[in-house]
Chain A
């Protein structure tokens, strides 16, 4: 099974609302990253949070990390139609060596 699993699988909200996506993982990590993928495009890095950090912000994005629960959340505030995309978490874990392991993603649709 996968290291990272996102929840929910799909999320539909109105423009201006906040969107929260969650990621759970199974093993100890060095860091956790969030990526966005617009339809038909490559992945774009959003935020990297290290295992000794609990929260990070970047613009309208807020990421939290709870290593005791092995989970992370991505909050997008004041969502826009342009935020419509798939969002993936990826973990860098010692057990997996020199690679990132991606979750299955959350599909976010922001309706205008």
Chain B
């Protein structure tokens, strides 16, 4: 059974479109994260939710909007996609907030044309 799953795995879309990425964890963790990994493999946190409450909101364009319907799910909606949004987006979870061990999903490879 997959611990942290993301859909879709690949996403190819045109500039200006709106898209969503979904994440689910079955580990019973309280905290979930979205990361962006650029072409140089640099991993940067975007958002974090703890029990459906937003606790980390990095300097991210407001075209990106996370939503956590329950503590097992964290979705990422991106409006008006731009070329620079092309990257791999990872969802992760941890038992609690703070510097806990994190469990990562397989990633969603987004290509904006």
Query: Does B103 lie within 8 Å of A45, measured CB to CB?
Result: yes
Residues of A within 8 A of B12 (CB): none
B101 touches A33 (CB 8 A): yes
Instruction: Tell me, yes or no, whether A43 is within 8 Å of chain B by CB.
Output: yes
Binds A, one of B39-47, B65-73, B77-85: B39-47
In the assembled complex, the Cα of A35 lies from the Cα of B102 at a distance in Å of 9
Query: Chain B 73-113, CB within 8 Å of chain A: the 1/0 string?
Result: 00000000000000000101000011101111111000000
Chain B residues with CB under 8 A of A44? 104
Q: Is the interface of A mostly helix, strand, loop or mixed?
A: strand
Q: Which residue of A lies closest to B107 (CB)?
A: A42
Asked whether B27 is an interface residue with its Cβ less than 8 Å from the other chain, the reply is no
Q: Which residue on chain A has the smallest CB distance to residue B45?
A: A99
Contact A31 B99 (CB under 8 A): yes
Number of interface residues of B (CB under 8 A): 24
Whether the Cβ atoms of A97 and B56 lie closer than 8 Å is: yes
Interface string of A12-33 (1 = CB under 8 A from B): 0000000000000000001101
* A86: B residues at CB distance < 8 A: 41
Interface size grouping (class) on chain A: 20 to 34
Question: Contacts of B33 on A, CB cut-off 8 Å?
Answer: 99
Q: Are A98 and B97 in contact (CB under 8 A)?
A: yes
Instruction: Let me know if B32 is at the binding interface, CB within 8 A.
Output: no
Supposing A92-B98, A98-B97, A100-B102 touch, asked if A41 and B107 sit within 8 A by C-beta, the answer is: yes
The residue that A45 contacts in the complex, of B42, B43, B50, B101, with Cβ under 8 A, is B101
Set of chain A residues within 8 Å of B102, measured between Cβ atoms: 43, 45, 100
Residues of B within 8 A of A35 (CB): 104
Chain A interface residues toward B at CB < 8 A: 2, 30-31, 33, 35, 37, 40-45, 48, 86, 88, 91-93, 97-102, 104-105
Q: List 6 A-B contacts (CB under 8 A).
A: A41-B106, A42-B105, A97-B56, A101-B45, A102-B43, A105-B41
